[in-house]
Amino acid sequence: MDKDVGTEAAIRRWDRHAEKFSEGFDEQGDLHREVFLNPTLFDLMGAVDNKKILDAGCGNGYLSRMIANQGGSVAAVDYSKQMLTIAKRNTNSELDIHYHHGNCESLDFLPNRSFDIIISNMVIQDLANYRQAFKEMHRLLKDEGAFIFSILHPCFITPNSGWVKTDTGEKLYWKVDNYFYEGTYEQAIPVDQEEKILYFHRTLTSYIEALTETGFILERLVEPKPSEEILVNHPSFREDFRCADFMVFKLRKNKFD
């Protein structure tokens, strides 16, 4: 664990792993996005048609395309040029999506109060200065706009967390460690590469304090679980009833901010 690894190293790693990361994606994202995240995100967004939406940390752009296909007008930002290349390659030019290269911590090229909704799927745990990013999201929202973001669950996905197994591989329980450590550590992906994707761990308290200090009102907090229909086709997801992988926040910008 190295607290001082910063943005440049994170970008380099995203650029290097962009193609590999995107291999398992189709137009619904990967299986975890399809099962856990997309249903929650679209439920929290509500109707997106004719809404101006920022996809902050768009990656390969699957979510931007899902939103634009439902009538949303999307600005999509990522700081990895490789990710943007993949996103543009996969995007039909008729879709209302404008891709931008930029860091979500400072998006000066976008004017104040531009968006009805800002969505950020699995990005906030990957960026170095989350407090600055929250301020930027607040600046970019229209009055009463919604900021919705998902992260790896900060209480369960911590440095050195993971299943404790028997000698024969049976999963006994999920182990959590180093919860109060705040800083960088490497994710397990890609499994076959030495230099892995970086993750910035913070406690749940830090997230909530930073959001409320920014001026956001917490409207919903969701810990997504698989549906019964999903379990019919993917029974292995039953283990996700033992602990949560993801946490999704819905914040509201106050009318008078």
Ligand X SMILES: C[S@@+](CC[C@H](N)C(=O)[O-])C[C@H]1O[C@@H](n2cnc3c(N)ncnc32)[C@H](O)[C@@H]1O
Run of H or E including 145: strand 141-152
Tell me the closest approach of the beta carbon of residue 46 to ligand X, in angstroms: 19
Nearest to 54 by CA among 114, 133, 136: 114
The CA–CA distances, whole Å, from 255 to 87, 201, 219 equal: 34, 31, 14
Tell me the closest approach of the beta carbon of residue 256 to ligand X, in angstroms: 28
The amino acid sitting at 34 is: E
Give me the residue whose beta carbon is nearest to ligand X. 59
Tell me the closest approach of the beta carbon of residue 4 to ligand X, in angstroms: 17
Return the number of the residue (8 or 194) whose C-beta is nearest ligand X.
8
CA 209, CA 115: separation in Å to the nearest integer? 24
Give the count of alpha carbons within 13 A of 138, CB side only.
21
- Answer for which of 75, 83, 146, 148 binds ligand X (CB under 6 A) is 83
220 with 213: CB under 8 angstroms? no
CA 150, CA 167: separation in Å to the nearest integer? 34
Does position 136 bind ligand X by CB under 6 A? Answer: no
Task: Specify which residues 196 forms β-bridges with.
Answer: none
Q: What SS3 class is residue 175? A: strand
Does position 104 bind ligand X by CB under 6 A? Answer: yes
Q: Using CB under 6 A, which of the segments 45-53, 122-130, 174-182, 237-245 binds ligand X?
A: 122-130
- Encoding tokens for residue 172? 């006994």
Return the number of the residue (45 or 104) whose C-beta is nearest ligand X.
104
Site for ligand X in 38-77 (CB under 6 A): 57-59, 62-63, 77
- Answer for which of 79, 185, 216, 246 binds ligand X (CB under 6 A) is 79
Q: What SS3 class is residue 38? A: helix
Q: Using CB under 6 A, which of the segments 103-111, 135-143, 155-163, 173-181 binds ligand X?
A: 103-111
Does position 80 bind ligand X by CB under 6 A? Answer: yes
Return the number of the residue (101 or 175) whose C-beta is nearest ligand X.
101
Tell me the closest approach of the beta carbon of residue 83 to ligand X, in angstroms: 4
Does position 224 bind ligand X by CB under 6 A? Answer: no
Q: How many CB atoms lie within 10 A of CB 3?
A: 11
Tell me the closest approach of the beta carbon of residue 169 to ligand X, in angstroms: 28
DSSP state at residue 236 = G
Total residues contacting ligand X (rule CB under 6 A)? 20
Residues at the contact surface with ligand X, assessed by CB under 6 A: 14, 29, 57-59, 62-63, 77-80, 83, 103-105, 121-123, 126-127
